[in-house]
Structure 1
């Protein structure tokens, strides 16, 4: 992966390069603020944009981009809430947006300043988490499903979440370390919503997950990709973009969209209350919505683009892959993540921890 460097005119020498690397690629724990009105400070997930596009945007717009990264919605939300660091543009997931709206952390979007939204997929727009896209518009989207190593597992044996309970898969499954994802799949197997709030239904999902313990090899996050690539486990739960990366490195792996549920998620452009350069934020959003840029970004990152115009520019082998661009009939079975409120989120986390401790 190429590393992104932002150069400020006239600064030379090794010390300057180290300073720039620290500034541009600073992680959540060391974000940088700036009073320069010509700078645009972006706060995004790690490895979630083609660096060439930032360079292209800087050359076209004259803005200097300071690119900071976070590794969780909660870390991003906390930084914005603290307000001590200026961020002009952030990329929250749909599940955190209602909470950030309630807390007054997001600014309403002026849609008259946006271009390219007409290309965005209708099924991703005007969702319950942000009616009329008042505060956000989609950046990437994808699904959660099952990675299967076809050299070790007959892929016909895994078509949905319920197949994971097959005793033949003892110690074979890498589960994603997420309460919503894990309880969500068990809820869907039981015929409930992945956004279920009834404590009794959640308790039943945990009981169902208890029966899955013999098949679980480990509960991990990014490590799932490495283990699947290296043939260290035959089955892994993961996001579609992660699956695309794994499949590029290990052709034996296939990605299965569950036929008994699943999730559609979006990560989104949003302008936080900390924004000091709203004009630059709108300029960057519009730049990234241009079909040729959205297509380039989708090829680089590996997640599905919400732009129908960009999708038309992508290789047909990619866009016709139903695992990454499912048919509408498959998406009818999927649910968008909803924000469930602090108490319910804590209940999910408590149930999930209880389950993990029993492994």
Structure 2
């Protein structure tokens, strides 16, 4: 009996050794993802809850290229269905919510848009009893100017803006934002198609603050953008992926994480942190005031702050995580990337957006619209002049014929 008992014990030990080792306080969701087990992830199962999540394009690990399908993992764990859609700029997100054309439960705006939405009562205060993983957010990213007590937002990812260029189309690597006004790149420049990021680039170039204090300051900086416009091939957001990867433009501006993605797809591309400095932005998870599933939305936010989920998202999209425990387990190439994690010298030149006054915001929106339509308006005006000239010429020819006919009759 002792021999049999010993044999059974040996087999049990061997079997346990062969099984996956899971921490005592985690639940395995997929082969690559475990989550905390001290959270009630299943309280909405069987209730037919659907969350509408509105995020930037290319901004979540989606299961492609052997990555974790984060949305599918959340649905499997919680029984909550996710209707996941994307936007390409803070401004389009704001316009969609403001119009009431759609009802969302989780959105991911950037810092300056967060401040605007808070001021306009567009966000719901968060119940952190439903988001205990907020404690994983590094202290340096808590209680920011745009949301002083983190009453409305949880940081998702961080990024900087910079210059991406094609090494086969550029003789000498750009070094500064001012290079985007160089006529040698005429017709080959891609510029941000949103007012705040584009304005910041012109402000860096001209030595102004990226956070204008007066309408007059806005006017001065937008003149720089107006001067640049004849050189610009297109104002883009997500369209930059196809254009830069496909070699359709020599130089462009975009966000750091997306630059990593583009460089992975086209090794001829390279990244520059401009010498004038760059914008450090924080994209945040928030719940719109009109959400019909606030508690489930907070569960989604808590899920996104799980270490395995944060790791999967950061490694897939290449953006900077605000969670130190995620950084510690990142792939070494990303952890040491100077695009995702700039040097101390570069980081010292980063600036952050702050909330603008209503007066300044209105002026920026107005001047941006005027700048964007400047050439188009000029083109339409020239077309109208040409049309009038052609009409005048036709009338003149008709008059000559009538006059000649009258003369002949005389």
When the two structures are superposed, what TM-score results if normalisation uses the length of structure 1? Answer: 0.80
**TM superposition shift of 1:135:** 0.8
Q: How far is 1:37 from its partner?
A: 6.0
Output the CA distance in 2 between the equivalents of 1:296 and 1:312. 13
Match of 1:183, SS state, is helix
How big is the alpha-carbon RMSD for the aligned residues of Structure 1 and Structure 2? 2.6
Bigger shift: 252-261 or 158-167? 158-167
Relative distance call for 1:130 and 1:329 in structure 2 (3 A) is farther
| 2: CA distance, partners of 1:153 / 1:84 | 44
Q: 1:67 to 1:355 in 2, by over 3 A?
A: closer
Q: Tell me, yes or no, if structure 1 residue 146 matches structure 2 residue 183.
A: no
Partners of 1:268 and 1:117 lie apart in 2 by 12
Q: Assess if the C-alpha contact under 8 Å between 2:142 and 2:150 holds in 1.
A: yes
Match of 2:51 among 31, 40, 46: 40
Answer yes or no: is 1:267 the counterpart of 2:278: no
1:104 to 90, 99, 121: 121
Distance change (3 Å), C-alpha of 1:126 and 1:260: same
CA contact (8 A) 1:148 1:236 kept: yes
The 2-side partners of 1:352 and 1:85 are apart by 26
The answer to whether the Cα contact below 8 Å between 2:136 and 2:323 also exists between their aligned partners in 1 is: yes
Aligned residues of 2:126 and 2:153 also touching (Cα < 8 A): yes
Q: Give the counterpart of 2:135 among 115, 118, 124.
A: 118
Does 1:57 find its partner at 2:74?
A: yes
Residue 318 of structure 2 contacts residue 334 of structure 2 at CA under 8 Å; is this kept in 1?
no
Return the match for 2:267 from 251, 256, 259. Answer: 251
Normalized per residue, which structure has more helix? 2
In structure 2, relative to structure 1, the CA distance for the partners of 1:287 and 1:317 (3 Å cut) is same
> Superposition pairs for residues 4-23 of structure 1, below 5 Å?
none
* 8 Å contact from structure 1 (residues 80, 273) kept in 2: no
Q: Is 2:321 the partner of 1:305?
A: yes
Aligned equivalents of 1:132, 1:258: Cα separation in 2: 32
State whether residues 208 and 221 of structure 2, in contact with CA within 8 Å, keep that contact through their aligned partners in structure 1. no
Output the CA distance in 2 between the equivalents of 1:79 and 1:227: 26
Is the Cα contact below 8 Å between 1:147 and 1:253 reproduced in 2?
yes
The 3-state SS of whatever aligns with 2:122 is coil
Cα distance change of structure 1 residues 224 and 53 upon mapping to structure 2, 3 Å threshold: closer
Map of 2:301 onto structure 1? 285
Displacement, 1:196?
A: 0.9
Q: Does 1:131 align with 2:148?
A: yes
TM-score by length of 2: 0.71
Local SS of the residue matching 1:143: strand
Pick one of 312, 324, 339 that aligns with 1:323.
339
Structure 1 unmatched ranges of 5 or more: 1-35
Q: Secondary structure of 2:198's match?
A: helix
* Residues 158, 281 of structure 2: 8 Å contact kept: yes
For 2:94 and 2:184, locate their aligned partners in 1 and report how far apart those are by CA, in whole Å. 42
Q: 1:179 and 1:85 mapped to 2: Cα distance?
A: 23
**Bigger Cα Rg:** 2
**Map of 2:255 onto structure 1:** 239
Structure 2 distance, partners of 1:104, 1:227, is 38
1:349 equivalent in structure 2: 365
Q: How has the CA–CA distance of structure 1 residues 76 and 208 changed in structure 2, closer, same or farther, with 3 Å as cutoff?
A: closer
Pair 227,39 (structure 1): closer, same or farther in 2 beyond 3 Å = closer
Would you say how many aligned residue pairs link Structure 1 and Structure 2? 324
Any gaps of 5 or more consecutive residues in structure 2? 1-46, 63-68, 376-410
Greater alpha carbon shift after TM alignment, 288-297 vs 236-245: 236-245
- Secondary structure at the counterpart of residue 288 of structure 2: coil
Q: C-alpha separation between the residues in 1 aligned to 2:139 and 2:149?
A: 11
**CA–CA separation in structure 2 for the residues paired with 1:298 and 1:333:** 23
Cα distance in 2 for residues equivalent to 1:39 and 1:55: 13
